[in-house]
Amino acid sequence: MSLAVFDISKVVENGVEITPEVDPTSGTISHPKPFKCSIRPRSAKAIALIQQDANY
């Protein structure tokens, strides 16, 4: 559901788009280390859906 209502993109700091470093953790299960990103609603309709679900 999150991908349906949000645009997830690289963060912009001081007018520069920041590309996260690909530096996965080591171990049996590998995952990326924490990184910044921008998460914004796709539209006014998406905002309404998010608010409707939050009030459910």
Q: Report the distance separating Cα 1 and Cα 10, nearest Å.
A: 20
Binning pLDDT at 50, 70 and 90, where does residue 51 land? confident
**DSSP strand pairing (16-17 vs 38-41):** unpaired
Range of the domain at 28: 2-54
Cα–Cα distances in angstroms (integers) from residue 26 to residues 19, 33, 34, 45, in the given order: 21, 10, 14, 41
The per-residue pLDDT for 26 is 80
The per-residue pLDDT for 56 is 64
Domains contained in the chain, number: 1
The per-residue pLDDT for 37 is 92
Closest C-alpha to 2, from 50, 55, 54: 50
Q: What confidence tens digit (pLDDT) does each residue in 6-49 have?
A: 999 999 999 999 998 887 778 888 888 888 999 999 999 988 88
On whether the CB atoms of residues 20 and 10 are closer than 8 A, the answer is: yes
